[in-house]
Amino acid sequence: MQSGRNACASLESLKHGSLMLRWRWGVLLVGLLAACQPTAMPDVRETRLMLGTVVVFTIADMPEDKALAAIKQAAEAMQAVEAAFTTHGDIHNTVKALNQAKAGQAVRLAPEVDALLQQAVAYQRQTQGAFDPTLGALNRKWGFSGDVLPSKPLSQAEVRQALAQSGVSSIHRIKPLVWVKDKAKLQLDFGAIAKGFAIDKGVETLRKMGVRDGIINAGGDMRILGRHGRKPWRIAIQHPRKDAPLGWLEVQGDSSMVTSGDYERFFMYQGVRYHHIIDPKTGFPSRKTMSVTVQAPTATQADALSTALFVLGDKQGLALVETLPKVEALWVSSDGVVHMSRGMQTQFHAL
């Protein structure tokens, strides 16, 4: 855990700061820029490792003791989400119970798991299947969430076999909280949505503790509260192929910014990049995008959509984004070209 005051940072120091936070799972943080702006009190910043990533809490304009107490509570709320949703480690939870259940066996989920699974199924439908919370068997086979990255891609046969274990049409909510699967080997995986949900729970706690201005940044997934002094927060978007920001935008009020990229967990094999965002139609890493950044009202929505819009690519993705209220997106497509939704174009400053 790191903590302390950070009164003011420039774009340059942000860049080096986020590089310093790069860690053994290869997560490169999308930069958070607290520009040098006058605030009544210096920022309070604290870093924790959880949810398989580095989580940075930044609170502005609050006495240090109050800010640290709020961060402590928010971190505990986020750890509770991790415990409820993780499929890693020895902790028992209801996600693992459903994953281990036999076909047709009724499993009672924790209320927050039941609620997020319903949302996840709705996102699967909204994104024409690009976001799929039932890909767990295939994701595990690819092995991007382990401590050691794989070095060789799966074969077509291996992918076909694991893909056959997935599908939201094979899970059913038979009554409140209670779900069954049709396929014993179907595995839920909340890796593309639970980090956002944890951030939302953390922000809810910060608010209850009186925080008006602050940011929770979990490995590039952020929710932004209020302002930084008299100005909006300035958020940098990571370039997917350079150790530098692609650009920045100013954000204030309550908004979330989440990035999914092919540069976080990947390996190269015979000149081809294999990464952790899987196209549910093919079972292989999606090929249309290098990174996508989504702005949305909640981190849960932005997280689910960032993964889906990565898979859909800019053309199909833009058509979807333009139908969603208060959602904006920026893609760096696989040819390195930047594409933006209309609302993003008015906010984004390229560097």
Contact footprint for Mg ion (CB under 5 A): 192, 303, 306-307
State residue 192 phi and psi, 5-degree precision: -95, 5
Task: State the nearest-atom distance from the C-beta of 292 to ligand FAD, in Å.
Answer: 9
- Based on the shown chain and the rule CB under 6 A, indicate whether residue 57 belongs to the binding site for ligand FAD: no
Give the HSE-up count for residue 141: Cα atoms under 13 Å, Cβ half-sphere.
25
Tokens 């595990």 identify what position? 140
- For residue 192, count other CB atoms closer than 10 A to its CB: 27
Using CB under 6 A as the binding rule, the residues of this chain from 317 to 336 that contact ligand FAD are none
Q: Cα–Cα distance between 110 and 94 in angstroms, integer?
A: 6
Query: Distance between CA atoms of 277 and 262, rounded to whole angstroms?
Result: 7
Interacting residue with ligand FAD among 60, 135, 171, 309 (CB under 6 A): 135
Q: Which is nearer to Mg ion, 5 or 125 (CB)?
A: 125
From CA 282, how far away is CA 245, in angstroms rounded? 31
d(CA 74, CA 169): 35
**Contact call for residues 260 and 285 (beta carbons, < 8 A):** no
Using rule CB under 6 A, residue 95 touches ligand FAD: no
d(Cα 272, Cα 295) in Å, to the nearest integer? 30
End-to-end Cα, the chain, rounded Å: 32
Identity of the residue, 58 or 260, whose beta carbon is nearer to ligand FAD in the bound complex: 260
Nearer to ligand FAD, 52 or 343 (CB): 52
**Is residue 134 involved in binding ligand FAD (CB under 6 A)?**
no
Residue 116 binds ligand FAD, judged by CB under 6 A: no
What does the per-residue mask of binding to ligand FAD show for 24-43, with x meaning CB under 6 A? -x------------------
Q: By C-beta, is 62 or 258 nearer to Mg ion?
A: 258
Q: Are 278 and 286 in contact (CB under 8 A)?
A: yes
Q: By CB under 6 A, is residue 300 in contact with ligand FAD? A: no
> What residue number has its CB nearest to ligand FAD?
52
Encoded amino acid at 84, one letter: A
* Residue 170: contacted member of ligand FAD, Mg ion, none (CB under 5 to 8 Å, by partner type): none
88 binds ligand FAD (CB under 6 A): yes
Residue among 296, 336, 300 at smallest CA distance from 320? 296
- Closest to Mg ion by CB, 88 or 108: 88
The reply to whether 99 sits near ligand FAD by the rule CB under 6 A is no
Closest distance to ligand FAD from the beta carbon of 263 (Å): 10
Kindly state the smallest distance separating residue 264's Cβ from ligand FAD, in Å.
5
Q: Compute the CA torsion angle 181, 184, 185, 191 (nearest 10 deg).
A: 30
| 144 binding ligand FAD? (CB under 6 A) | yes
Residue 168 in contact with ligand FAD, rule: CB under 6 A: no
* Angle (CA) 319 306 34, round 5°: 120
Position with the least CB separation from Mg ion: 307
CB of 323 to ligand FAD, least distance (A): 20
Q: By C-alpha distance, which of 258, 246, 218 is closest to 74?
A: 218
Under the rule (CB under 6 A), what is the footprint of ligand FAD? 25, 51-52, 82, 85-86, 88, 131-133, 135, 139, 144-145, 189-192, 194-195, 221, 260, 264-265, 276-278, 280, 303, 306-307, 311
